[in-house]
Structure formats: structure tokens, C-alpha cells
Structure 1
């Protein structure tokens, strides 16, 4: 079966959100008198939900479930004020989405970012394209790499998982695709290194969004 749909991760795949995520998390740490981190460190902290972000960012000596919860709650407030200051689509994303639409390929988004921020980012930066559904972290739905939400997307579109390409920039994305029966494609312009994507089972690795169209045309 050829490709009928592409499911995208958001942060690190379609949008370069790292600076706003890092600035927001550092603001939360700073207001508690805790050490902050260089922006590049957040490449490894983000991607698995807000609580996991602070489990990784907090010093081990003070880390607790209560502090993680408090920081996560503060982060949502801080990020709500600065989610769109430095965020931009990656170069080539617009052309990729144009090409997929022209080919009649269905496009959708699945993120571990809180659902309302996922939808706000897509509405702000990607509203020119018919991305649907757009799903983030929702209460009662397990985070990626659990395949439940990816399979929900397939069900909503009434397209078999094997007819999806799944494009993401983290090992979590590759594991999600594998678990859902979708074909995992790793985005090397994103937040995580090539080796992580390979070890997590990427079927193909691409260095620029335009390569996704070449891959698709070769199927």
C-alpha cells in the first residue's frame, strides 16, 4: 500500500520551538532560585511532556514529585505568555506541506506538547494547510511512544496505519510509529541526534523537508 497520509510531530519537526521552550523553563527555574540551562540542553529535555521536562531539568538534590508538579504548572503559565516570541517554522516546511497537499496526501499533527499549545502553534504558524486532526497531550490519553493517539489519528482519517509515513525528530517519534504500524521517518534538522533516531528504528532519515517529497514520490 502506498502512502496516503503523513503524521507529523510538531516541536523539532515542523516548528523550531526550542528557544521559547528553553526560555520559559529557565524562567520557572530562576524564579525558584534553581540553576538554569543552556538552550541546547533542552534538546534532550523536551519531547516527552512537561513533567518529564522538569524531571530532567531539576537538580537531583531537590527533585521531588511535588516540585516537578509545581514547576510544570508554572511552566504552563509562563509559556502561555511567550510561546510565540521566537518560534518559527523550519525552512522548507511550507514547501513540504504544499507538496503533500498537491499530491492529495492527508496531513495531521501529533505532539506530546499540551493540547491547547499544540493547537495554538498550528493555528499561528501552519494555518494555511489542512492539518487535521491536530492533537497534543490530553487528559486520559497516554503520551507517545504509546501508539494510542497515533492510532486515533488513523481511525479519524479512516486510513490504515500502514499507509502512513510518520515524520518526527526524536526516538520517541520513531518508537511511536513502529508501535502504531506506521513507517518512521527521522527528521535530522530537529532536536535529537541521528544515532538516537537510528537506534529507535527509523526506516529512513532525511536532512531537509524537501527530501520527504522525494521519498514519497519513490514509493
Structure 2
């Protein structure tokens, strides 16, 4: 029984994509670059911020300068945004509350900047709710490197063999595979059918209730 559950943040625990898309479109507009329909931003998600920005730029506009310009404006806009459309996915609070009540350790591993991730976790969840929260810092490798998984394991006093990873995209599957831990793939985020069919997935789940059941039935 794996008693440490590591969750991706965006697209897994929390529905952030609408507010992310609004802020990215404004950052693109400010830099005289083409904008996108809000429902397109799910296709750009996954990986660090530089990778995400490069996916939304026209091929002939993918330069270090453009990526840096869009990234800088986006970070400011998103930090200042009230994020009115951002909230936990239906049923996820019940999943987290149940796991905590049953003695599981719960943690977050994200490529969202550490300071921003800490701020959002603090505003959206009860104090000291998660056992560890690991976001992106330039001083350490980002997902899919297993650095974050190892940091979480150390902080929780557990081993990789005690952990399972829950995510919604290719970078989450790759992170779990790099750490050699099972991956439970959720279908409500920004992934696609190719991710869903990745043979590394331990389980594919469609609802929060199904996720909770899967987590509690590991090893049975």
C-alpha cells in the first residue's frame, strides 16, 4: 500500500486553465503576438513556462526574446489576477480530506513557480494542508526530472516505494516514470488521448470518486 500521494496541481487538483488563458492572451497582445481561443490553451500545457510559451507562438516567432517577453508579462498579470475561474475540480476536496483522515501523506509537485504555487495553495486550501509543496525554482531541475519527487519523499520521511503520482499530462507520466513510481492518470485535465493510452499509466480514472477508490485499493 503506497501511503504517499503526490499530485500535480494545474489540471489535476485545480482547474486553472481559463484564468491562465486569459492572462496569456493579454501577454501575447501586449507583445503584438497572435492570441488564441481560450479552449486552445489546454494544448499548450505541460512542462516549464518557457516550453509552454514556445508552443503558443507562431513557428517564425519562436525566439528566446519573444519567449522571455511573453513570460515576463504573463507572470506579472497572473500574479496580480484575482483568478475568478480557478477552483478545485469537483470532488477533489473530498478525495484529499478522505486521504488525510486515513493517514495518507499528500503533496503537490508542479512546474508552477514556487512562490506563486505557495500563494495559491495558501489561498485555496486550509493552513498546512499538504505535507509538502514543491514548485519550480531555477536552482533545481523541473519536471519531468524526479528531483521534486525525491524532495517530497525526504520531507515526508518516506521512500519512492511508498509513493504514487497523480497527474493529467505527459510531463506527469514522464515524472512518475523517471522516479519509477506508479502514475494514476486523470482525464479531466489538459491531457489528450495519447497521454491516456501511455502504457506506463498504472490506472486511468475519469472521476474523483474513481480516483479515491483506486488510491485506497492499491495492492489489493
Q: Provide TM-score, normalisation by structure 1.
A: 0.94
Moved more, 206-215 or 96-105: 206-215
Q: Do the aligned partners of 1:174 and 1:200 also contact (CA within 8 Å) in 2?
A: no
Moved more, 147-156 or 106-115: 147-156
Q: Do the aligned partners of 1:21 and 1:83 also contact (CA within 8 Å) in 2?
A: no
Q: 1:102 corresponds to which residue?
A: 101
Indicate whether 1:153 and 2:152 are aligned. Answer: yes
Take 2:140 and 2:68, find their aligned partners in 1: how far apart are those partners?
A: 18
Q: Do the aligned partners of 1:171 and 1:200 also contact (CA within 8 Å) in 2?
A: no
Cα offset for 1:48? 1.1
Q: 2:207 corresponds to which residue?
A: 208
Q: 1:38 corresponds to which residue?
A: 37
Large movers: runs of 4+ above 6 Å? none
Q: 1:177 corresponds to which residue?
A: 176
Residue ranges of structure 1 left out of the alignment (5+ in a row): none
Indicate whether 1:164 and 2:163 are aligned. Answer: yes
Cα offset for 1:202? 1.1
SS in 1 for 2:78: helix
- 1:68-111, CA deviations, whole angstroms, 9 ceiling, x for partnerless residues? 11211111111111152210110001110111011100000010
Take 2:59 and 2:82, find their aligned partners in 1: how far apart are those partners?
A: 27
Q: Do the aligned partners of 1:174 and 1:197 also contact (CA within 8 Å) in 2?
A: no
Q: Do the aligned partners of 1:9 and 1:167 also contact (CA within 8 Å) in 2?
A: yes
Q: Do the aligned partners of 2:12 and 2:167 also contact (CA within 8 Å) in 1?
A: yes
Q: Provide TM-score, normalisation by structure 2.
A: 0.94
C-alpha distance 202-107 of structure 1, shift in aligned 2 (>3 A) = same
